[in-house]
Amino acid sequence: MVTWKIKCSTCSLLACRSDHNETRNCSERMMWKYSPDSDPALRIYPVNLGDEGNYTCEIASSAGNFLFFSPLTVIVPPTVTLTCDKSRVAVCQASAGKPAADTSCIPARNHGTKEEVHHPNGTVTRVSYIGWVNSMLPTATCLVTHPATNQT
C-alpha cells in the first residue's frame, strides 16, 4: 500500500492499495506519475502555490514500512514590464514572482530607487525606477533575473 500525504493535512492526497486494486484521490490534479506498483511517484499538474509544503510517502509492504519525505517549493516566474513616463523615468517591474526577481535598469544611476511589494499568496513584485532627464542616452534597459527562467 502506498499513501502520499501533505503535512498539516488530515486527508491523504493519494492512496493506493495494490492488494485491493483501488486508488483514492483528494484532488483531480494529483495522480500517480506511472504506476504505484512500479514507481509510486506523485504527479501534480498543474501545480499551484497552494500545493507547496512537505509531502510524505508511506509504503507498507511485506518487506516492512517505509517513509520518504519530499519538500515541494513552487517557483513562479514574474511578469516583466518596462515603461517610461513623460518625465523620463523608466519603470522596470517584475510582478508576482516567487521568489522575488532581481531588477535593475541601465543606465544605472546612484539616484535610482527600488521598491518591493509582498503579496498575500507569497509572490513578490519588485520595481526599479531610473530617471535620465539630463542624460543624452535615448534608451533604457530593464534587467530582470529569476530562477524560473534561464535568461536575463
| Position 26, amino acid | C
Q: By three-state DSSP, how is residue 15 classified?
A: strand
pTM above 0.75, yes or no: no
CA 76 – CA 93 distance, rounded (Å): 15
| Tens digit of each residue's pLDDT, the chain (152 residues) | 888 888 755 566 777 766 677 777 777 888 888 877 778 888 889 998 988 889 988 888 889 999 999 999 999 999 999 888 777 788 889 999 999 999 877 766 655 678 999 999 999 999 988 876 666 666 777 889 999 987 66
- The dihedrals phi and psi of 120, each to the nearest 5 degrees, come to -60, -25
